Structure 1
């Protein structure tokens, strides 16, 4: 399937036409968003709650629900909340700050997907373009319209997976460090990002083995061990409890079968065009290895 050793020929056919296709898709997406999005639609409840935390943070009250009260870890999209607050400092409203971050994230994710398919899968423009179109006209626009932070999380999920593939090609310290830092950022955006980054690391170990991935594992452990621990200790002291609020609200390690069912259903609905490719990935040993490598983060995150 993917010949990782043929690095020099990766972008041999990447030219202006690719740029034009990406630009066309972006402009079309912006047009669709402007024409069919109801600007008067209020934010969904969870999104509105996070925006309230961002607004209080902007005005220097800390991460609180009510001004003057003790900090509450209600905005579990930690880094997204901070970015919204920083953007609002420029003079934009909280709502427009969210829209700017979400739309930018959604478009950038689409570009990364296009480049990923051309670079790592050696695919033609038609495959990259249709995949880009399928993604960029998908649910990300809905999440943006209702002010969720999901597109921001999706962006760094794509960045981290892109970096993971770079590290597989060449597991030198610089690539290992970039992958580890992007994984840490993913975990700072949402708590579940930590698990997604770990599943990506497991996929790397599966693909190239422990011996070749020693630098990657070491960088990952150092970044998460040092910076991650500093953040963990800070948030424990700031909020008064170590783990994210949903952990306590939803009963700790209790298995929620309804949530699992919804997660599997969502994966099937949004990934159905690509399911045949995963099935065909078992035709040979090399293809099967690449398919399993790609599925480890997906299946791990679903479960």
Structure 2
């Protein structure tokens, strides 16, 4: 069944071999579906995004990229360029979640264009772009506020350029683009250099005799080394602070991540592997699979607990979509190709909605607004002296961002002491924060959270608020007794406001989501 690639006849192709035309209607249809999905999930901004926003705001206000102004800087983000991108918007007063969503939506549209135009057949384009735009995690991760979509676009573009060179050595490629993509990918996420190392090597070998190749490559290397030297000297560690937490604390050796990802993307993985068989698509498919393996290696080994809705798998998702499209390019029988495309898209779409995190993620924005954001705004409203505006919490996103208070993140994502071995209990006892926010499955204080002895840390602080996030997820706010009455009032007002502007429901179901959209 797998033979040499067959290009659709008639209007599906133009005079340039392998470059289809007549795909604009398909692209418009894909944009409509993508737009509908992004609209449906527009309220979702994940708590982690506010970590990046806090660094952006501090940099914009002249404090540098740091968690707590005036303290030793810590690299609690892993997306330097994404953090930097938001800085000018702070000056302009544009809400940072809006900046993230619009930027990511544009990147997702560009990914869609690549997936529509790179496959040589309609069936290939259909499976590539169809799986992408009908996948629930696509809607969530584009709207969530993190660098996920821009990063995936840069990786996809780098693989596509080198795949074109493998198919036709005369393909025009700007000498500065592959090194720039490699540099940008590495500065968006550290694992970007792993994903784009194979495409960069292919380009360098194929273009080794062309003018400008080594100049552009050397320039990118100089910039990359300078950036690495700066961040190491500025933050004092060779790797982002989050790495030491996620590998040292969260790391697991079970097969959870591999099993979930394998089932979620099974047809695309099988098709991508099938694209290795025909000679015409072999090298391109191997390049795409190499990028996926590089992106998937770390989460497969560490099984990260913070990988909501398979975010780390989504980094390579467009690569799998494209490789699946290339596989169907090699299926000579159009009916068979069409059936395979429908089955792959149907599986991917269904699996996305059946993902265990799906119902909670589509309701995430509502839950965050009435709890974390309300608490952060309530803290900001309090008229405490600057030296008393200190808070400790595990959910180190919206609460520190909206409060503007000096914050101790006792998971350690933004605290070098805890990340490098200091007991979170000892760190909190040393910091003596005015407010401690505890999370647990009930309204009662848990005995321990992330290895922290909460009763000992909370001490004689007074409970001033309890915010219910989900059926088994609560935030308890404890404050020093002398400021407890004021904080009880300000946080209480914000919790009431949050309840008024959200849907008032706690069930983690698609029904709740649909009722909110259409009710």
Query: Are 1:80 and 2:82 counterparts?
Result: yes
Q: Which residue of 2 aligns with 1:115?
A: 117
Cα distance in 1 for partners of 2:170, 2:272 equals 26
Cα distance in 2 for partners of 1:280, 1:214 equals 31
Cα deviation code 1:230-249 (max 9, x no counterpart): 11111122222232223333
The change in CA–CA distance for 1:276 and 1:187 in structure 2 (over 3 A counts) is same
Q: SS at the partner of 2:30?
A: helix
Cα distance in 2 for partners of 1:167, 1:191 equals 26
Task: Give, in angstroms, the shift of residue 191 of structure 1.
Answer: 0.6
Cα distance in 2 for partners of 1:231, 1:7 equals 44
2:129 to 125, 129, 132: 132
Cα distance in 2 for partners of 1:173, 1:225 equals 23
Contact 2:159 / 2:288 at 8 angstroms: preserved in 1? no
Contact 2:182 / 2:200 at 8 angstroms: preserved in 1? no
Contact 2:73 / 2:234 at 8 angstroms: preserved in 1? yes
Contact 1:199 / 1:300 at 8 angstroms: preserved in 2? no
Cα distance in 2 for partners of 1:31, 1:181 equals 33
Query: Are 1:228 and 2:224 counterparts?
Result: yes
Contact 2:198 / 2:287 at 8 angstroms: preserved in 1? no
Cα deviation code 1:169-219 (max 9, x no counterpart): 3378954431121111111101111111113345x38xxxx8645359846
Task: Give, in angstroms, the shift of residue 2 of structure 1.
Answer: 6.2
Q: Which residue of 1 aligns with 2:152?
A: 154
Structure 1 unaligned blocks of 5 or more: none
Query: Are 1:170 and 2:174 counterparts?
Result: no
Task: Give, in angstroms, the shift of residue 50 of structure 1.
Answer: 1.5
Q: Which residue of 1 aligns with 2:63?
A: 61
Q: Which residue of 2 aligns with 1:181?
A: 180
Structure 2 unaligned blocks of 5 or more: 7-13, 298-519
1:31 to 20, 25, 36: 36
Task: Give, in angstroms, the shift of residue 77 of structure 1.
Answer: 0.8
Cα distance in 2 for partners of 1:297, 1:21 equals 27
Contact 1:176 / 1:215 at 8 angstroms: preserved in 2? no
Cα distance in 2 for partners of 1:219, 1:297 equals 25
The change in CA–CA distance for 1:256 and 1:116 in structure 2 (over 3 A counts) is farther
Contact 2:159 / 2:199 at 8 angstroms: preserved in 1? yes
Cα distance in 2 for partners of 1:263, 1:200 equals 26
Cα distance in 1 for partners of 2:276, 2:96 equals 48
Cα deviation code 1:32-72 (max 9, x no counterpart): 322x2262x5x333222122212222323211112222322
The change in CA–CA distance for 1:133 and 1:280 in structure 2 (over 3 A counts) is closer
Contact 1:80 / 1:149 at 8 angstroms: preserved in 2? yes
Equivalences for residues 89-104 of structure 1 within 5 A:
89-104=91-106
Query: Are 1:243 and 2:239 counterparts?
Result: yes
The structure whose Rg is larger is 2
Q: Which residue of 2 aligns with 1:302?
A: 296
Q: Which residue of 2 aligns with 1:142?
A: 140
Contact 1:22 / 1:129 at 8 angstroms: preserved in 2? no
Q: Which residue of 1 aligns with 2:27?
A: 22
Cα distance in 1 for partners of 2:32, 2:258 equals 32
Number of residue equivalences: 282
The change in CA–CA distance for 1:298 and 1:220 in structure 2 (over 3 A counts) is farther
Contact 2:275 / 2:282 at 8 angstroms: preserved in 1? yes
Contact 1:76 / 1:191 at 8 angstroms: preserved in 2? yes
The change in CA–CA distance for 1:274 and 1:172 in structure 2 (over 3 A counts) is closer
Q: Which residue of 1 aligns with 2:50?
A: 48
Contact 2:165 / 2:206 at 8 angstroms: preserved in 1? no
Q: SS at the partner of 2:233?
A: helix
Task: Give, in angstroms, the shift of residue 130 of structure 1.
Answer: 3.7
The change in CA–CA distance for 1:84 and 1:8 in structure 2 (over 3 A counts) is same
Cα distance in 1 for partners of 2:221, 2:285 equals 30
Q: Normalised by the size of structure 1, how large is the TM-score?
A: 0.78
Query: What is the root-mean-square deviation of aligned Cα atoms in Å?
Result: 3.2
The change in CA–CA distance for 1:82 and 1:165 in structure 2 (over 3 A counts) is same
Contact 1:85 / 1:94 at 8 angstroms: preserved in 2? no
Contact 2:105 / 2:143 at 8 angstroms: preserved in 1? no
- Greater shift, 214-223 or 24-33, is seen at 214-223
Q: Which residue of 2 aligns with 1:274?
A: 268
Task: Give, in angstroms, the shift of residue 106 of structure 1.
Answer: 1.6
